[in-house]
Amino acid sequence: MLRFSANLSFLFQELPLRERFAAAAAAGFQGVEYMSPYDEDANVLRSLLRGHGLSQVLFNLPAGDWTRGERGLACLPDRVVEFRQGVATALRYAAALDCPRLNCLAGIASPDVEPERARATLIDNLRFAASACEAAGATLLLEPINRFDMPGYLVQRTVDALAIIDAVGSPHLRLQYDVYHAQRTEGELAATLRAHVGRIGHIQIADNPGRHEPGSGEINYGWLLRHIDALGYEGWVGCEYHPRTTTVAGLGWMRNVAP
């Protein structure tokens, strides 16, 4: 049976962040994830998780200045020191929150940097981060992101992410498969999941168009979620979507299409 986690960067936006933990638990979620914990005190977050019986499933490595358009540091040759400091920060939070997975955003390559140099920088940084995660008992993830929502993002397709993972050569680096991004970029959801389920460390879901809740768009989530379950996937499925109205009003899909 699939386990669903609430992405608190997307869901329950009608509430302040600290109140979203209680809302997620009340809605039946047992796990939560979010993009970044770094503006909050780790001890406060830990208390919220424990108080509401929630598992911290995932969060991202520090991704730079989001307000300035930065979407990760890992492919930027002039930010290697900052990236590696961010790995240490993320692992401190992961230890405090008992979080077993960290997602690395590859970033948007600078137009002044040759693509091969950006890719080589990414591979070196991932190798460093995967080794640090191994020592801490955590798993590092790499996520492809579609070119429409994030133009210029270095890793856009599943095959590209897997090639980079192969180049890194660490069993502690796995694929984060976001169904919404995959649908926009490449389709072939069922076949890709079947071929690579053993290399996937986390799945995220949203429908297309609009990145709203499952059942709102073109993806047959009733079938696809049963397919994921039948493949034997044992990880979490993160609900990373924008509710069309309120989060609670949009949770009917969990009764209607989730296995």
Q: Is 103 exposed, middle or buried (0-12, 13-18, 19+ CB in 10 A)?
A: buried
CB-CB contact of 115 with 147 (8 Å): no
33, 143, 188, 234: which one is catalytic?
Answer: 143
pLDDT at position 255? 80
Residues 6 or more apart whose Cβ sits within 8 Å of residue 43: 96
Compute φ and ψ for 16, nearest 5 degrees: -60, 155
Residue-by-residue DSSP string for 156-210: -SHHHHHHHHHHHT-TTEEEEEEHHHHHHHT--HHHHHHHHGGGEEEEEE--TTT
pLDDT at 256: 75
Q: How far apart are CA 154 and CA 150, in angstroms?
A: 10
> Which of 14, 70, 188, 240 is the catalytic position?
240
User: pLDDT at position 20, please?
Assistant: 98
- Angle (CA) 21 22 25, round 5°: 90
CB 134 within 8 A of CB 100: no
CA–CA distance, 9 with 206 (Å, rounded to integer): 13
**Taking the CA of residue 235 as centre, how many other CA atoms within 13 Å lie in the half-sphere pointing to its CB?**
21
Percent of the chain that is helix, strand, coil (3-state, to 5): 45, 15, 40
* Residue 240 known to be catalytic: yes
Determine the pLDDT at residue 259. 66
What is Dmax (Cα atoms) for the chain? 49
The answer to whether residues 189 and 182 touch, using CB atoms and an 8 Å cutoff, is yes
CATH topology of domain 3-256: TIM Barrel (3.20.20)
- The structural domains of the chain, with segments of one domain joined by +, span 3-256
The predicted pLDDT at position 257 comes to: 73
Q: What is the dihedral of CA 23, 24, 25, 30, to 10 degrees?
A: -170
Q: Note if 143 is an active site residue.
A: yes
> pLDDT by residue for the chain (259 residues), tens digit each?
899 999 999 999 999 999 999 999 999 999 999 999 999 999 999 999 999 999 999 999 999 999 999 999 999 999 999 999 999 999 999 999 999 999 999 999 899 999 999 999 999 999 999 999 999 999 999 999 999 999 999 999 999 999 999 999 999 999 999 999 999 999 999 999 999 999 999 999 999 999 999 999 999 999 999 999 999 999 999 999 999 999 999 999 988 776 6
Note the pLDDT of residue 9.
98
